[in-house]
Amino acid sequence: MATAIEVEHLTKTFPGRVAVDDVSFSIEQGKIVGFLGPNGAGKTTTIRMLTCFLPATHGRAAVMGFDVFDQAIEVRRRIGYLPEATPVYPEMRVEEYLRYRARLKGVPRAKVTAAVEQAMERTGTVEARRRIVGHLSKGFRQRVGIADALVASPPILILDEPTIGLDPNQIRQTRELIRELGEDHTVFLSTHILPEVEQVCDRVVIIHKGRLSGEGTPAELRERVSQGVRLKVEVRWPQDVGRERARETIRGELERIEGVRAVTATGGAPGSGDDSYSFAVLASSDDQVRDRIFYAAVEADWILRELTVEAMSLEEVFAHITNAEDEERGEDDSEGGDGDEAGGEGGDGDEGKGVETSDEGEDGDEGGDDDEDGDGERQEG
């Protein structure tokens, strides 16, 4: 499958720190890819380089085969960009604003009306076409921002924290919209919300302290960190032996089963008033382990209430990967990457430092305009 975005050894430095450190990954056309990392990890800095708002210090990036530094205009024609802070003119009406943006993005005059109508229909903003943008709820303004990104029909959408600050209903609606957009576009979605990635993304790219920590499908990442199968076991054993003794007896029996690596009691503590006991069991990948647990329960006269496989959540995968990386580097959490940008809301701290800031000003022309603002000169290391 053809490559939509290709990043090779991308690095961005600011005085005294490295914001993005030798990052490489590629995104195939037609995929929804989550760009995952905590606040200050380097996500927004990477996106600004991909969208031609910041030059790289080292390395290269290409969008649909066009270099983001040498061919910035061609890149901008092929991307729709929604920054974290939705850049809209609050005094304009929705349709008026989208028509204006379509013309800025080079949509032929004869096709502007159709392009605007299609963008409003896909984002559910038709009913708000005559409303003033500044009077809309944040969720609707976010939809207008996505309509802006769509209006020139770019093959690639780059969305930076598209659900931040939205209420639960707006978050659900925005995720559904992103899934729909993924049927016709390549979507690169930056977020630090892990359930969002699990629900909408085909692949995941994890960045931590400016460095690439992992890449693959959620299943591939789980397999990478998996140490076996996790089972939830709940048994009922109404023997009058005391709850503490009963719990320890059951745990000991489970630990003796072939293929079981570790057993942790998770329920049935003394004084709970129930004769059931719950355990988290870490076992080998051998399918026979569950059979052995079942037969052990029968032999011991336990009533087996639950025996299920528990999948590792993406949150646990992320924590495992990033913690292991921290241990390997021997770094404290306060060091490295973009950790000193506490002032930004999910950003990477490029604002307010007086150094190479991007052009996310009032014009909001991030989505693929033909201007070259913010391209600067590539620094040579």
Which among 215, 208, 207, 193 is positioned nearest to 335, based on CA atoms?
208
Tell me what pLDDT residue 221 has: 83
> What is the rounded CA–CA span in Å between residue 72 and residue 77?
9
Tell me what pLDDT residue 268 has: 63
> What is the rounded CA–CA span in Å between residue 68 and residue 58?
13
> What is the rounded CA–CA span in Å between residue 219 and residue 200?
14
CATH number of 227-309: 3.30.70.3100
Structure tokens at 220: 């591939």
> What is the rounded CA–CA span in Å between residue 359 and residue 357?
7
Two domains, one topology: 3-222 and 227-309: no
315: amino acid identity, one letter: E
Tell me what pLDDT residue 350 has: 41
Q: Which residues of the chain have pLDDT under 50?
A: 269-270, 332-381
CA-CA-CA-CA torsion sign (97, 100, 102, 105): negative
Tell me what pLDDT residue 212 has: 93
* pLDDT tens by residue, 69-101: 999 999 999 999 999 888 899 999 999 999 999
- Determine the straight-line distance between the first and last CA of the chain, rounded to whole angstroms: 34
Specify whether the CB–CB gap between 251 and 290 falls below 8 A.
Answer: no
Q: Which fold, 3-222? A: Rossmann fold (3.40.50)
> What is the rounded CA–CA span in Å between residue 352 and residue 141?
25
Alpha helices (H) in the chain, listed in sequence order: 43-50, 72-77, 94-104, 112-123, 138-150, 168-181, 194-200, 218-225, 243-255, 288-300, 314-329
Residue spans of the domains in the chain: they are 3-222, 227-309
Q: Taking the CA of residue 353 as centre, how many other CA atoms within 13 Å lie in the half-sphere pointing to its CB?
A: 19
Q: With a threshold of 0.75, does the pTM exceed it?
A: no
Region label for 111, one of left (φ > 0), alpha (ψ between -120 and 50) or beta (otherwise): alpha
> What is the rounded CA–CA span in Å between residue 37 and residue 191?
7
> What is the rounded CA–CA span in Å between residue 131 and residue 239?
70
